[in-house]
Structure 1
Amino acid sequence: MAHDTAAPERLDREIAGLDALELAAGARRNPLLRVWSALWPMVTAVGIALLAWQAVVWSGWKESYVLPGPADTLPVLWDQLTSGRFWEAVALTMQRALIGFAVSILAGVLVGALVSQSRILRRAFGSLITGLQTMPSIAWFPLAILLFQLSESAILFVVVLGATPSIANGLIAGVDYTPPILLRAGKVMGLRGANLYRHLIMPASLPSFVAGLKQGWAFAWRSLMAGELLVIIGDTTSLGVLLSQARELNATADMISYMIVILLIGIVIDQLFGVVDRAIRTRWGLDSD
């Protein structure tokens, strides 16, 4: 009998020792090393992209005034970054993006919550939501311009229609993959209706929901860029307007510099979503780092 009780105690001590070693190893890891381990893949990717770009220029495929190389474009990009007009354009574009994405989140959560909790609504609108998600956002602009003319509302309309289905589908998928044992446990604990959804289903579906938000942002950002190229409102200046003006003037270096900025904004937002995703994984004990 003594032997039977000693074995579990010894196993517990060994597991505790392994946990302590793992925590100590994580604590000893140099913060600078962590930053470098996160940055070097991106730095390498940028270097490869610049080298490939320069190789295309060296090949003579296009004249330098049609396709300038990094040495000609990067100084133009720096000039843009030091221009007040440029930052006014970035501010307007980001304002539109944040407003459109916020409205999309509200609409997506509402639609996803209703559809995920009703079999009738699922059968009626489930395929429609997926169909809207696959529809090219640029196809909405003729209708948007017809309904709202050349206005901020036309751009917002297309951004919301582009992002909302992805957010709704992310929430629906998260609800669908909530473990049944959690639902039974919640009901045993007295959770019903809105409380069950708020305190159990929503937290359980959070990883899938964040993935839906990330995809929704990608659709919103692409819809916004298309909208700013097609819907030019008065004398307002946005990234899309600057890009369109550079194209009309055949200022290829300026055009590429604006494209780089649009790409960098997308990368930064993706990194922010990555931070949220890692925080969720850490909280759930899924982060092995």
Structure 2
Amino acid sequence: MFLAGLLATWALLARYGPWPHHLFPGPKAVAESLAAMVGDGRLWAAVTRSLGRLAQGYFLSVLIGVPLGLAMGRLRPVRHLLRPLVVGLQALPSICWLPLALLWFGLTETSIIFVVVMGSVLAIAIAVEDSIMGVDPLLLRVSSTYGIRGVRFYGGVLLPAALPSIITGLKLGWSFAWRALMAGELLYVSGGLGQLLTMGRELMEIPQVVAVMLCIIIVGTLIDRVLFQTVEVRVRRRWGLATS
């Protein structure tokens, strides 16, 4: 019912709203544009291109962000030294890294992947640090009493205890990575979803712009629901933090 009402409102605004029809297309025009892009293969090619970049950038962000957050959470000198810098850089919009990326790496895939990494790695590091700092101190004291140290401590006590919060942080980092990717692709001819948006704007194909925006929302929602939410719910159930 809600979706039907939303579509009806959209159609009414497109027909009788304050904007010209060519600037605010209705559901029918957007659906036709979406079907055309699916039919000629442009949409599938753009989605796979964007998801490939996302996978590379996000994987690098996890490889860097998790150890960085772990170090900040466990080592006080590292936390005092790096946390102000990490928090400050996190406040910088990821798109601000694009000019430097283009100067350092040129018009290459590396530039966009660099923007994706800078858009998500700091959020992951902060989330992991908060997860480590939130572990029950009693659990840490008990493990110390039993002489659990080194790899056994990190792999068997600390990381499992912080895992539910870490997964939530990884999901947050993914959302930042997805936004950074779209921003980077909008400003650089890249063959992804961002380029389809730019082409639609330049050609005044507003139905294409809206169709690609809907596709970005759908892809992002599917990844969140199918991957992250599934893992998060299972871990929380396993850890006794959720009942259903």
> What TM-score, normalized by structure 2, do the two folds share?
0.94
Find the structure with the greater CA-based Rg.
1
Matches within 5 A, 1:18-29: none
Tell me, in whole angstroms, the C-alpha distance in 2 between the residues paired with 1:173 and 1:282: 21
Identity of aligned residues (%): 38
> What CA distance in whole angstroms lies between the structure 1 residues aligned with 2:221 and 2:5?
16
1:67 aligns with 2:21: no
**Are the counterparts in 2 of residues 170 and 210 from structure 1 also a CA contact under 8 Å?**
no
Are residues 1:250 and 2:207 paired?
no
**For residue 230 of structure 2, what is the amino acid of its counterpart?**
V
Q: CA RMSD in A?
A: 1.5
Assess if the C-alpha contact under 8 Å between 1:151 and 1:231 holds in 2. no
Q: 1:67-146 to 2 correspondence within 5 Å?
A: 67-146=24-103
- Counterpart CA distance in 2 for 1:248 and 1:127 is 41
Aligned residues: 243
2:224 pairs with 1:267:
no
AA of the residue aligned to 1:49: L
Return the letter of the residue paired with 2:39.
Answer: T
Q: In the alignment, which of 149, 152, 159 is matched to residue 202 of structure 1?
A: 159
Name the CA distance, whole Å, in 2 between partners of 1:187 and 1:164: 31
- How far does residue 128 in structure 1 lie from its aligned partner after superposition? 1.5
Deviations 1:149-185 (A, max 9, x none): 1111111111101100111111111110110111122
* Shift in alpha-carbon separation, 1:282–1:216, aligned structure 2, 3 A: same
- Aligned match for 2:168, one of 211, 218, 233: 211
3-state secondary structure, aligned to 1:205: helix
Q: CA deviation at 1:259?
A: 0.7
Which sits farther off after the overlay, 272-281 or 256-265? 272-281
Mean CA deviation greater in 188-197 or 240-249: 188-197
Write the deviation string for residues 89-147 of structure 1: whole angstroms up to 9, x where unpaired: 11111000011000000010121122112111101111221222221111111111111
Equivalent-residue separation in structure 1 for 2:55 and 2:101 (angstroms): 19
Deviation of 1:52 after TM superposition, in Å, equals 3.4
Q: Which runs of 5+ in 2 are unaligned?
A: none
Aligned to 1:154: 111
Output the CA distance in 1 between the equivalents of 2:12 and 2:42. 32
Counterpart CA distance in 2 for 1:45 and 1:150 is 43
Q: Given the superposition, is the C-alpha separation of residues 146 and 126 from structure 1 closer, same or farther in structure 2, using an over 3 Å criterion?
A: same
What is the CA-CA distance between 1:54 and the residue it aligns to? 2.3
Aligned twin of 1:283: 238
- CA gap of 1:240–1:195, structure 2 versus 1, over 3 A, is same
Structure 1 runs of 4+ off > 3 angstroms?
A: 44-49
| In structure 2, distance between residues paired with 1:142 and 1:218 | 22
Point out where structure 1 has 5 or more consecutive residues left out of the alignment: 1-43
Q: CA offset at residue 48 of structure 1? A: 4.2
The C-alpha deviation readout for 1:5-35, integer Å capped at 9, x for no partner, is xxxxxxxxxxxxxxxxxxxxxxxxxxxxxxx
Whether contact under 8 Å (2:128, 2:166) holds in the other structure is: yes
- Is the alpha carbon distance of 1:257 and 1:216 closer, same or farther for their aligned partners in structure 2, counting shifts above 3 Å? same
Q: Normalising by the residue count of structure 1, what TM-score does the alignment of the two structures yield?
A: 0.80
Check conservation: 2:185, 2:194, Cα contact below 8 A: yes
